Structure 1
Amino acid sequence: METLHLLFNAITVIFIAATMFAAGLGATLPALRAILATPLLLVLALVANLVVIPLLGWGIATLFGLPTAAFIAIVLAASSPGGPFGAKLGMIQKGDVVAGAAMQVLLAAAGSVTFGVTANAILTAAKVGTGISLPVAALVRTVAVLQLIPFAVGLLTRHYASSTARSWHPAAVTVSNVTFLIVLAGMLLGNWREVVALIGSRTPLAGSVLAAVAFASGTLLATGSPARRTTMGGVAAVRNAGPALAAVGIAFSDTPAVLGALATVLLSGLAAALPIAAVLSRRQANDIT
């Protein structure tokens, strides 16, 4: 069991680092500068993802009366912006893919620093369980190292050796996708009793509602064309699993109940976000014709 635990943690680290390395390889400085050159869009996206959605997660967890493990899971997910699948939702809905990808990596980078502080503040204020307090300094240090350094290396490679970056990018994306599936499978299979117990509970519904209101918040708190605004909504709807997994490992020693609840929240969120993107895609196609 100890060996499997260590293996799970190792694959989680690879997933987080590979995801941000792939994001760096796929990003371009002109695209990032374009977002930075639109200060209102950037500020609104930061407010939506770093303030509004974490507070909505807290509110949803309270409204649904979630048990401690599920409450922790939804707060961790809501506090962690910049999930890589958010940019893919932009592709599905035929939105502003370039702006979505750039915003996703900027939010993931910002979330590396804010995640631990935000999640800890909410869990402390909510007085979850017996009063949970996250090790903020350790979380910020770990998440920042695992996310910011690989992203910076990938971005610099893309800038100074673009042909190398383009050749490495597909492999990095594959590693990210495969390790994410392995981590998700490990969360589900290793904690299947907890996951099964959540079926029929309010936790999957809470995860779906969080994704839906995050999609709406990201869309409303954006500027530009309808395609760009809904793309920002998709980016907001998908939360970053990496920091949340790091928090479960550091603060909760991979407690099965929290891991199972986190897997349920992430999956139910994706299940809610995908149909929204599909509907927007059909609407976009109708507008074109």
Structure 2
Amino acid sequence: EEPIPDIFDRTLGIPAPLVTALAASNIQTTTARLNGQISDDAGEACQYRFRYKKSGGSYSYTAWTGSKTTGQTFYEDIDSLVIGSLYYFNAQAKNSVVEGVWGNELSFTTKPPAPTNVSATDGDYTDEVVITWIRSSGATQYQVYRDGVGLGWLGDVNAYDDNGADPPTITPGSASASDGAYVAYVKLILSGQSVNNGTTHTYKVRAKNDAGESGDSETDTGYRGHGELAYQWQRSSGDAPSGYSNIDGANTAIYYDTSAPADGGGRYYRCIEYAEGA
């Protein structure tokens, strides 16, 4: 004797309705819409329901409802879900005589929470700002925002090196050279110069998974630092502002140029300033 197919009620020997679970939609942090379709109504309009559970948990059931026939779709909105968590669900239908079997099982993950403990370095590096955070449950990607502008989606990471942050700058100051005041040298003085940290930027991070993006994390500020200000005085080759070359050992803000022409010939001076990162 041929076995009775699963679509038949084994006790009564009559056909039972069949359903197919469809992909969940409208997935948010704590809510989602479960979708299904009547595959076979077994001859009359059916009611339907869903069951769903968090991974590792037990099932919750929606109430029997509706009146659907073969090919028609149905849905149920559920809430009180756990943020950033994996859920499984399937559907079942019944007619006036018998309940069908539970259909195929699908899964979805709720939107992740925003990353926490976002921190940006304050001058620790001359070539970048390093942003770190604590990963969000259920997230697969992250994006860092600098001053509100996204820097591109990353993988499942918890740090980002922002070498596009504004670099440190140098305020050059002004240079002066003595005009015949000393017989043995020309006194060179640089004043008002400084080196400044890079622009202070504001950073935040978002998480993302297949359901969508999280909200914004808390913000933190960070900036690129700089090295010590260094100097190199240069002297022109003649009495014109051209043909400059380095003066050996002239590496201080105040310098006495003892190698200036002894005949009193005029020369132009300038100072090149530099610092790591600037």
**TM-score, with normalisation over the residues of structure 2?**
0.18
More helix as a share of residues: 1
Structure (1 or 2) with the larger CA radius of gyration: 2
**TM-score, structure 1 as length reference:** 0.17
Q: Say which structure is richer in strand.
A: 2
